[in-house]
């Protein structure tokens, strides 16, 4: 690709134009009932997002300095009383899922960096634990961004082990698990909770809107490799969105992928809280229940 030098104002205009085109595509996706046309729109969406990703961008340094590591206590359906520990600035992620309840991804990236240093995480967590008098079932990394993007995640987990006996849970979309360094950084966690919403590449692009370097195939291969190496608990979440990944062919592909991955638990979910895209709607309960039966006794509906 030829490099084109743009001034700051020209870059702003280009970004605004691309974002406007993406908003129009989202409107069309929301209105169409034709699956083939929706897939075509998803391909256009993927191309525009790839161009947008290629434009110069950086995380402002003040965002890194102002990141609050302690996200607060939450009562989780899966993890009980969970303390959110943020190891990534808010909404830095390799995906921009249509159903995300925390808003649009601010930086779509697959680059691993020491976004927040281990000593910052440990210092803030130690201070919190000294003052907190309630019970905590899990320390959960990370509530607001993708934790595996932190290149020092292994050091962070080891540091947490050094100051607390509370089980460590990793909430991840799993898309970087095809990388050896990412898998090994998670080996000391007690439970890892990855996601898998699609097997077909067009559906993956439509529902999860990944960074251009990522694919559904890599996600499934990574989850399978991680299962063969990791001795802790893997609790896999599958989120079903009406009209996107709820058709029988895709659900059967998901079921076969789950057989490869062999998670300890499967959590089936749908859109419950307000999603980032208004066209992301809850799946029919009949579809969810049939799929739960197909997945067997390890599967529960959240």
User: Once rounded to an integer, what is the mean pLDDT over residues 235-252?
Assistant: 96
Q: What are phi and psi of 68, to 5 degrees?
A: -90, 115
User: 256, 74 in Cβ contact below 8 A?
Assistant: no
- Confidence at residue 7, expressed as pLDDT on a 0 to 100 scale: 64
Residue 120: how many CB atoms within 10 A of its CB?
Answer: 16
CB 152 within 8 A of CB 117: yes
Q: How far apart are CA 163 and CA 182, in angstroms?
A: 23
- pLDDT tens, residue by residue, 5-24: 556 666 667 767 777 777 77
Asked if pLDDT for residue 277 goes beyond 70, the answer is yes
Written as six digits, the tokens of 262 are 């062999």
Name the residue among 139, 78, 103 with its Cα closest to residue 269.
Answer: 78
Q: Is the pLDDT of residue 4 over 70?
A: no
- Classified as helix, coil or strand, 182 is helix
80 contacts 96 by C-beta, under 8 angstroms: no
Tokens of 260: 């490869």
Q: Which CATH code for domain 60-301?
A: 3.20.20.70
Report the pLDDT value the prediction gives residue 179, as an integer from 0 to 100: 98
Tell me how far CA of residue 51 lies from CA of 44, 45, 60, 149, 269, in angstroms.
11, 10, 21, 21, 32
The pLDDT tens digits of the residues spanning 76-134 come to 889 999 999 999 988 899 999 999 998 888 889 999 999 999 999 999 999 999 999 89
The band of 237, judged by pLDDT with boundaries at 50, 70 and 90, is very high
* Measured distance CA(169)–CA(84) in Å, rounded: 10
Question: What percent of the chain stands above pLDDT 90?
Answer: 66
């Amino acid at each position: 690709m030829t490099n084109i030098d743009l001034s700051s104002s020209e870059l702003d205009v280009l970004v605004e134009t691309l974002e406007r085109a993406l908003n129009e595509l989202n409107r069309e996706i929301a209105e169409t009932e034709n699956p083939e046309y929706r897939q075509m729109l998803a391909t256009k969406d993927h191309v525009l997002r790839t161009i947008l990703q290629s434009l110069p961008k950086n995380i402002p340094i003040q965002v890194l300095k102002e990141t609050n590591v302690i996200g607060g206590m939450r009562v989780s359906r899966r993890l009980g009383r969970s303390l959110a520990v943020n190891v990534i600035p808010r909404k830095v992620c390799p995906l921009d899922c249509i159903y995300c309840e925390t808003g649009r991804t601010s930086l779509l990236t697959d680059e691993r960096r020491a976004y927040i240093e281990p000593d910052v995480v440990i210092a803030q967590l130690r201070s919190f634990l000294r003052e907190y008098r309630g019970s905590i079932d899990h320390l959960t990394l990370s509530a607001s961004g993708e934790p595996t993007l932190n290149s020092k995640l292994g050091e962070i987990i080891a540091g947490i082990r050094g100051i607390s006996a509370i089980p460590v849970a990793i909430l991840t979309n799993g898309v970087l698990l095809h990388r050896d360094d990412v898998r090994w950084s998670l080996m000391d966690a007690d439970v890892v909770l990855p996601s898998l919403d699609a097997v077909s590449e067009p559906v993956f692009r439509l529902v999860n809107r990944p960074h251009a370097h990522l694919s559904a195939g890599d996600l499934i291969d990574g989850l399978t490799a991680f299962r063969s190496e990791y001795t802790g608990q893997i609790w896999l979440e599958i989120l079903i969105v009406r009209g996107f990944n709820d058709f029988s062919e895709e659900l059967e592909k998901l079921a076969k992928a789950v057989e490869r991955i062999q998670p300890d638990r499967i959590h089936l979910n749908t859109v419950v809280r307000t999603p980032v895209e208004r066209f992301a709607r809850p799946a029919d309960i009949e579809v969810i229940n049939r799929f739960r039966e197909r997945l067997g006794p390890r599967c529960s509906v959240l």
